[in-house]
Structure 1
Amino acid sequence: MGVLGRYNFSELLFGGLVQLITLPYHRFFTYNTLRPIQEVLRHASTGVQPDSPDRRELHAVLVGWRTRKKDELGFVAVAATVMTAIDTASFSWGNVATSHWVGPAFWYAALTTSVFGIFLAAQQLSLLSLMGELPEDHAATSARVMTRHLGQVLGRKKRKGAGAATGDGEAAGQDLSYTDSWVLNWRLIFNWQCPMMFIAYSTLFYIVGLTVVACTPLLTEEWGNTDTYVSVAYLVSLGLSLALFALCSLGYNKISMHGDEDGPDETDGAATAADDVVAVADAARKDEHP
């Protein structure tokens, strides 16, 4: 079993389901949402206070997460706007009226998801702006500011600290940040990845609808008609495009989320589906056992 043997069936099942749902945009989900939040969690427990040993690392991963997320949301807003225009223009084609009803139905679904993607991306960009930028110097960032930013990506659970256990009220007050346990919150993870999910599924719905519209002549007309040749040409181009897309999407090497730090290089080797399943299973385990 190797690495997978460390996880129970429910954790692997959850990881597999997440990867299946996010398959149309799994690189965006992995490197712009899940793994950056995991990196934030890794330093959150001991990086809030100004004198914390992980303060610099926590500040860096929070800034990196905000930068990647803002870039992603900007892309989603533009892409969803373009997809909305494409969907709207497609309804004017003459063969839409004679195509199977499934094609236009998927186009309406694509239009709906792209519109919601635009508004949700704008909403999240506004939220990031309201939160404000983190100061460039990690030492100039107050514990309250760090906590406010952490609260947008992680959940929080209360637990007794060393000071509270000994009855030393002053010590308990000093250790407050260390007695609060930060955990992964899958609701927040879903929220932050949702705009990309909207545009990814909008594109998928459009392609499915386009395939139905383009291939309807194969079902309704005799072979040899010009429209049937067009349908075959479309299927060939679609197959080649999907093959190249899959090859390029799955062919990247592993990417380290903290590659600027000294230490072993994590970028060697191809990133596999098993690696992504393990990443989600590990996140599920940390969520259950903080």
Structure 2
Amino acid sequence: MAGKLPLPSTQETSSRMSPALNFATLARAIGRVTQVLQRLWNVIETLIIRIATLPYYRLYHFNTINPLRNLAYLASSPNPDTKKLHSTLSSWRTRKLNELQFTTISCTVLAAAVIGAFSWPTLSTAHWLTPGFWHTSLILSILGILLSASEITVLNLLGPVRYTAAAAASSHLPSPSSSSTSPSNVGSGGGDGLHDATMKRYMPLLLSPVMIKEDASGGGGAKQYYVPRRKMVFTWQAPLMFMSYSVCAFLAGLTVLVGVPIVRGERKGTWGDEGWNIAVMYLTAFGAGLAAFVYCSFWVYHYVHAEHDGIERDEYREVGPWGVFAAGYD
């Protein structure tokens, strides 16, 4: 037929499509590599946190990270319940105040013990690691006292968390980001509790908003949810960290002081030297005591859930401690 155009060959078609295919393949490969690197970083980050918090791992989870995760979970729900948010926040505040008061007393006693140890006559001939560890323990305990006092002051300035009828009414007022509130939530303790005055005071010190993109079926918009603010997680657990590291440094210095005869092999006979005998006795008692301490520390928390705080609340009888577990959980 006159004017009939020749069809492109298979090679020409594939050569035209190859750049697009190569770009799509490269994008998929980059996405997979990014996911693998993200997972690897998460594993490394988790491992670093577990190692760093090993001396106080249980208290770190019970008093800091787990309550904040529960609070972030409730705040990220479509209609945050003011009553549940206040209950969770009040529980965290109570725990944290008790922890900070305990840390203050412990660091004070520890600092006094370290200062008293500096007067020991054996310190003049001790290995340099002993005074080094003890000076480290002293400065960490002092920092623990000061930071605990600062955080107690902040919590007192923010004020207690109480669920009142006024708070419930204010939580039902339309927020700037929402046009209406579901009438079914009014009077039931529900509503957007994030716009309550108490939550507004505490939120910047606890949670951080994160925006995630929805899929194409969701209109291509973005959804906001909350996660524990990392720098504040570190800040709230820092006093306990200082105290725990101070204890470890003091025990390390004491172990070096007593155990040097065994390390150096300084003994006159099999059991003739007093330093050798003291070192053996100390290390035996320390090893047995440490094993018992680790064993008891594990089991004392094993059957206790992070949601328990020893405070009776009416809503626990209805929906569980954090609004996540079934009724009757506690």
The TM-score, its normalising length taken from structure 1, stands at: 0.76
- Structure 2: which 5+ runs fail to align? 1-37, 171-195, 309-315
CA spacing shift, 1:45–1:110, aligned 2, 3 Å? same
Is the aligned partner of 1:258 residue 2:295? no
Give the alignment of 1:48-87 within 5 angstroms: 52=79, 54-87=81-114
| Letter aligned with residue 194 of structure 1 | A
Can you list the C-alpha shifts for 1:249-287, whole angstroms capped at 9, x where unaligned?
Answer: 2223253333641618889xxxxxxxxxxxxxxxxxxxx
**Which residue of structure 1 aligns with residue 153 of structure 2?**
126
User: 1:179, CA displacement in angstroms?
Assistant: 6.5
1:240 is aligned to: 288
CA positional deviation for 1:225? 0.8
Identity percentage over the alignment? 32
Checking the alignment, whether the CA contact within 8 Å between 2:207 and 2:227 is kept in structure 1 is yes
Residue 254 of structure 2 is aligned to residue 210 of structure 1 = yes
Kindly report which structure 2 residues correspond to 1:1-290, keeping only aligned pairs within 5 A, or say none: 8-46=39-77, 52=79, 54-137=81-164, 140=167, 142=170, 143-157=196-210, 181-218=225-262, 219=264, 221-223=266-268, 224-251=272-299, 252-258=301-307, 260=316, 261=320, 263=326
- 3-state DSSP of counterpart to 1:8: helix
* Paired residue type of 2:326: G
With over 3 angstroms needed to count, the CA separation of the structure-2 counterparts of 1:215 and 1:62, relative to structure 1, is same
- 3-state SS of 1:135 partner: coil
Moved more, 137-146 or 245-254: 137-146
Q: Specify the code of the residue in structure 1 equivalent to 2:50.
A: Q
Aligned partner of residue 161 in structure 2, secondary structure: coil
Distance 1:145 1:159, change over 3 A: farther
231 and 159 in structure 1: CA distance in 2 versus 1, 3 angstrom threshold: closer
Structure 1 residues 160 and 239, CA gap change in structure 2 (3 angstroms): closer
> CA RMSD, aligned part only?
2.7
Tell me the amino acid that sits aligned with residue 266 of structure 2: E
**Is the CA contact (8 Å cut-off) linking 1:254 and 1:266 kept in structure 2?**
no
Q: Tell me, in whole angstroms, the C-alpha distance in 1 between the residues paired with 2:80 and 2:135.
A: 52
SS in 2 for 1:58: helix
- TM-score, structure 2 length as denominator? 0.67
Alpha-carbon distance in 2 for matches of 1:28, 1:137: 31
Taking the aligned partners of 1:266 and 1:238, their CA distance within structure 2 comes to 39
Q: How many residue pairs get matched?
A: 243
Equivalents in 2 of 1:193, 1:30: separation in Å?
Answer: 10
Aligned equivalents of 1:258, 1:226: Cα separation in 2: 51
- Contact between 1:56 and 1:138, CA under 8 Å: does it hold in 2? no
TM-superposed CA distance for 1:200, in Å, is 0.2
Structure with larger Rg: 2
For each residue in 1:46-88, what CA deviation from the matched residue of structure 2 results, as whole angstroms up to 9, or x when unmatched? 48xxxx5522111111000000000000000000000000000
* In 2, Cα distance between equivalents of 1:265 and 1:18: 33
CA pair 56-257 structure 1, distance change in 2 beyond 3 A: farther
User: Gaps (5+ residues) in structure 1?
Assistant: 1-6, 167-177, 268-290
